[in-house]
Structure 1
Amino acid sequence: MSYSHWILPAGLRLACLLLLPYRMWPAIVVGEALPVFENAMMCVRQLGWAWAGISAIPFVLLCIPVVRWIRNRMPLYLADGQINMGMILLATLACALITALRTDTAVFAALMHGKGGMATWHAEGLVDLQAYILGSYLGALTLTPTLLALHERFSGPCSWKSFWRSRLTHDVALGVIPFLTTIVVMAPSGSITPADVQQLHLYRLAVLIPVLVLTMRHGWRGAALAGMLSSIALATTSAVLMDPAMIRAQAVLALTISGSLLAGVSMPHVVTLRPAFARKSRGD
């Protein structure tokens, strides 16, 4: 469930680079290299060798130098045990830019393989690049903070019983999921008339509400879980690629999630990790 302006693998990729020790990174590269190389070889006749050569480069291989540089200078957890959200968002943005440039370069190579490619590139290249940046950034925001929150939750003493009894789980199960499900069901779909456009816009803005509410109630962990669910709900309201209205709504959601994650860390009721666990998480 990914498309050009909502790229979920970017989130899984970044979470692995942030959580796993350096010695495991070669395995991540190999794991991503095999399918992208196969895909490049399967489409080389249609899109050309230049596209295949670029597309065979794993995204994670390009992200590794930047993420390592960030990890060496900015710890994932601060000395007081609190998560370093500024570092996470910086890594998210950096990887989004790298992913977008790599994707757009491959598209350029594919267009040059056919006739009229340069004209198409001049008309759509910049727009596509912006969509790829947004897609990688929002895709990472959809998964990475949630995976970090779950990793933090289950790395310490925790049981499934306490997990299901937590206030955050109750708020998500009894509040956020029913609310977003209602939005998805009620939002106009299929052939949308001009009268439905404004209504659809309001429904898309409504997905911001769970992010703001859970941030106030549960800090950055609430923002992470609500952001993931709101991103999924928003994605289901569009069946058209590169829809300008959808891209604008996703940009607003990405900014809201980013701001909520930063604000949620500093809220006084947010429980921090033990410093010992924070030091352990930095070890490779």
Structure 2
Amino acid sequence: MSDGKLVNGLQSRLQDFPEGLLVAALYAATCWAARQVSLDQFFLPAGIRVAALLICRREMWPYLLLGEYAYFAHLRIPLIDRHGLEWVVVSSAYQFPIVALVVFLHRRSASKETGTWLLTVSAAAAVLIGVGTLLIAYALRPTAPSGGFITIAFRNTLGDYIAILTVAPLAMVWTRRHDIDWPSLLSSRCIYAGLSLLVCGVVSILIPHDSPAEKATIQLLMAVPVIALTCLQGWWGAAIGMPLMNIFIRIGTPVTGLPESFDLDSFKVQLLTAVSGSALLAVGSRITHHYHQYTVQAKGRRQAISNARVSHIVGEGDLRNHVASLRSISDGLEVSLSSTVDWLRVRGYHDMASSLLSIATVHSRKFREQTSLVYPTTMEHVGLYLSLQVGGIGEIWEQTERIVQPHLTGDPCRLSLDLQLTAYRALTEAVSLLLEHEHGQLKIRARCGRIGSTHGIVVTVGSVDARHRFSRSTATMAIGRLSGRTQAWGGTVQCRRNRIRMSFGEPPTC
């Protein structure tokens, strides 16, 4: 078994070999090309290194290391005579493993969060490489770098940090491109913010280098559309806008043509953008985190409402089937009683037949009233309003002598039968609750209509006496017993002084 695993592992490594060599060559070429346009305050190979580690799977990391050494070999072998072999070997071998270790330690965080861990990776990689390589240079090179240790370390660290924050977020956007809400990202507001960023960037490039104040002002104004993108899209907006801002600042930075060029005015702007960019990534990450939490909760809420609605619909269907079975039995009994009445009349027992028919009629009517309370079948033919008035519930309310003439407006037949049934159940339950726990006469109001794209109905059950106020226990019971039905249809239940107000809504069927 172990031999089979070994063979499979070797085969997998051999299959990755051509791809790995290609990755190594591309990585070395990219680092070399990026160095040609880099400054010590904006050192792009540091960002390329982190981005490559984020994009490539771990099986490709040894090939990235090979590409790194090839890049350093081309760059530093000519420097052996001037700086010494020890510095060339140690400094070249130090950087990639350290950054790879930093990225590896953050891999678990990368799967849980969106972007705050990237700030830790950038800061750790920039400090370890910027300070570490300088310490190696002081220790192994025959002549120490000129300029002072703290000054050079700060410039190198900031240059690496800005470069990482320029390239690494774009790499994360690429690796998680399937998670991006592209319709939202391509909305008109995001497009306007992006165009504003591009306009400010182009203007900052066109301003002459002998006007540093105007150039710095335009460069700082680029932060405004980046902030807008962050507010609109969270971490994704910051990850796209901030690298573009850094690239425009780099293009507008005057250079001497040497890799170690430095411009103090641009360095001040870059220092501000590094701080603001870090803040935007952190804020954007929290915005995205809370947005994801909100969408998950909203999805769960919609699913719960949908499940409740389906449960109510299924329950009503079961009740309808039970009522149909009971009425089928009742119809059979009525046929049998009718036959018995006819048999009695034929044989001259007219009084007995009349008495039996009268009793059967009364009990049949009461039976239908009771079954209509279980499920109002008349609603399928005449709608909600007439079912309340001609069904069994209407007669029960009339017998209490506490329900005044209801005020019903609109056409309930425009609503779905399921919504009418839910409103019917909630209304009858509210009336029953008030009849049991409150005194005085009650009035029912209902209004069907449409608000925007939503069809619905608003039902109010309240006391006729405007001075009457429901008890707190009644209000608590009303909200507890009626909220499930209203929420299942996107509505609410409110208990205000002397009335209960319920709303139900549904999307248009057309």
Q: Within 2, Cα distance between the matches of 1:157 and 1:135?
A: 29
Shift of 1:34: 1.1
User: Aligned to 2:51, which of 8, 11, 15?
Assistant: 15
Richer in strand (by share): 2
| Structure 2 match to 1:232 | 247
Greater CA drift, 228-237 or 209-218: 209-218
Rg (Cα) greater in structure: 2
Shift of 1:75: 2.1
Q: How does 1:11-50 map to 2 (within 5 A)?
A: 11-50=47-86
> Structure 1 runs of 4+ off > 6 angstroms?
162-165, 268-271
- String of CA shifts for 1:185-238, please: whole Å, max 9, x gaps: 12x31xx2xxx3432332332232232121112211111111111101111222
Q: Contact conserved, 1:172 with 1:226, CA < 8 A, in 2? A: no
Q: What TM-score, normalized to structure 1? A: 0.77
Percent sequence identity is: 21
Q: Point out which structure has higher relative CO (alpha carbons under 8 A, 6+ apart).
A: 1
Residue 98 (structure 2) pairs with residue 62 (structure 1) = yes
| Structure 1 match to 2:109 | 75
Residue 184 (structure 2) pairs with residue 184 (structure 1) = no
Q: Rate the CA distance shift 1:11–1:271 in 2: closer, same or farther, 3 A.
A: farther
- Which secondary structure state, in structure 2, belongs to the residue aligned with residue 267 of structure 1? helix
Q: Within 2, Cα distance between the matches of 1:176 and 1:56?
A: 38
Shift of 1:163: 7.7
- String of CA shifts for 1:151-205, please: whole Å, max 9, x gaps: 211x4699xxx6898238734653322221122212x31xx2xxx3432332332
Q: Rate the CA distance shift 1:173–1:212 in 2: closer, same or farther, 3 A.
A: closer
Q: What TM-score, normalized to structure 2? A: 0.45
- Which secondary structure state, in structure 2, belongs to the residue aligned with residue 202 of structure 1? helix
Shift of 1:66: 2.6
Q: Count residues in correspondence.
A: 253
Q: Rate the CA distance shift 1:269–1:103 in 2: closer, same or farther, 3 A.
A: closer
Q: Contact conserved, 2:119 with 2:278, CA < 8 A, in 1? A: yes
Q: How does 1:1-284 map to 2 (within 5 A)?
A: 1-57=37-93, 59-71=95-107, 74-78=108-112, 82-83=113-114, 85-105=115-135, 107-108=137-138, 112-113=141-142, 117-118=143-144, 121=146, 123-153=147-177, 155=178, 166-167=186-187, 170-171=191-192, 174-186=195-207, 188-189=208-209, 192=210, 196-240=211-255, 241-267=261-287, 272=292
What value does the CA root-mean-square deviation take over the aligned residues?
A: 3.0
Give unmatched runs, 5+ long, in structure 1: 276-284
Q: Within 1, Cα distance between the matches of 2:288 and 2:153?
A: 39
- Which secondary structure state, in structure 2, belongs to the residue aligned with residue 260 of structure 1? helix
| Structure 1 match to 2:367 | none
Q: Within 2, Cα distance between the matches of 1:14 and 1:143?
A: 8
Q: Within 2, Cα distance between the matches of 1:176 and 1:202?
A: 14
Q: Within 1, Cα distance between the matches of 2:183 and 2:175?
A: 13
Q: Rate the CA distance shift 1:164–1:107 in 2: closer, same or farther, 3 A.
A: farther
Q: Rate the CA distance shift 1:56–1:157 in 2: closer, same or farther, 3 A.
A: closer
- Which secondary structure state, in structure 1, belongs to the residue aligned with residue 109 of structure 2? coil
Q: Within 2, Cα distance between the matches of 1:38 and 1:182?
A: 37
- String of CA shifts for 1:234-283, please: whole Å, max 9, x gaps: 112222433333222111101111111111122269865999xxxxxxxx
Q: Contact conserved, 1:92 with 1:140, CA < 8 A, in 2? A: yes
Give unmatched runs, 5+ long, in structure 2: 1-36, 256-260, 297-510
